[in-house]
Amino acid sequence: MRHSLPELPGTTRPGRGRPGRSAGLLGIALLALLLSACGFQLRGSQPLPAALVAVDLQVPPGEPDLQRDLRRALEARGTRVAEEAGASTLRILGARYDRRILSIGPDGKVREYELRYEVRFALQPAGAEERAPVRSVTVLRDYSYSELRVLGKDEERDLLRTEMRREAVNRIVNQLSH
C-alpha cells in the first residue's frame, strides 16, 4: 500500500505548470495586444515626421546643455542631427530662466519663488522659402526658500532648472512631431 503526502498550496506535480501561470501569461499578452491596438506608445517613442529625417540644430553658444539634450532627444526618435544639404533647420532663438517671488512671510522674507524657463524656436523645413513661425515652450516650477538652508535650496534650484530644461526639450520635440 502506497502512502502519498498531501499537496501543499503553490507546489506542482511533475509534468504540470504552476497553477494559474498560463492564465497570467495569457492576460499579459492580451493587455499588450490591447495597448498596441489603441495606439498606445511609451512617452518619447513617437517617430518624427519624414521632414525631420535630418536636422541642422542651431543653438546659441551659451546653451551647451540645451543643445546636448535636444540632440539626444532628436536622435532617440530617429532624426540625424548634422549640418547637411537638404536638412531642415531647427533654430533655438533664445532660452531664458526667470525667477519671481511667489510669497513673503510675516517677517518680510521670501518664502517661495517661481522659476520660469522659456525656449523660443523655429523649424525651417528643407527647401521652404517662407520664414518659419516662431514657437515657444514655457515650463514653470515653484520652490520654497529658507535663509537657514541656502546651500540646500541653491542645489534644489539647480536640480529644478535641469528638470525644467529636459521638460522643455520634450515639449519641443512633441510639438515637432505634430
Is residue 178 very low, low, confident or very high in pLDDT (cuts 50, 70, 90)?
confident
Distance (Å, whole) CA 94 – CA 37: 40
Residue 176 has pLDDT above 60, yes or no: yes
Global pTM exceeds 0.75: no
Whether the per-residue pLDDT at 144 is higher than 90: the answer is no
Average pLDDT, the chain: 81
The pLDDT value recorded for residue 128 is: 84
What's the domain count of the chain? 1
Does a structural domain hold residue 34?
Answer: no
Of 22-26, 73-77, 119-123, give the lowest mean pLDDT range.
22-26
Nearest to 73 by CA among 46, 49, 93: 46
Q: For residue 115, what is the enclosing H or E element?
A: strand 110-124
Has residue 17 been placed in a domain?
Answer: no
Residue 6 lies in a domain: no
Which residue would you say has higher pLDDT here, 165 or 3?
165
Examine residue 44 and state whether it is found in any structural domain, yes or no: no
Does 150 reside within a domain? yes
The answer to whether residue 121 is domain-embedded is yes
Q: In which domain, by residue range, is 170 found? A: 50-176
Q: Is 24 a residue whose pLDDT tops 70?
A: no
16 is a domain residue: no
Given a contact cutoff of 8 angstroms between Cβ atoms, the answer to whether 100 and 142 are in contact is no
Residue 60 belongs to a domain: yes
pLDDT tens per residue, range 40-62: 445 545 556 666 788 999 999 99
Taking residues 100-129, what's their average pLDDT? 92
The more confident residue out of 40 and 27 is 27
40 phi and psi, to 5 degrees? -65, 135
Please give the residue that has the higher pLDDT: either 63 or 178: 63
* Choice between 156 and 4, residue whose per-residue pLDDT is larger: 156
Between CA 13 and CA 162 the distance in angstroms is 55
> Which CATH number is 123's domain given?
3.30.160.150
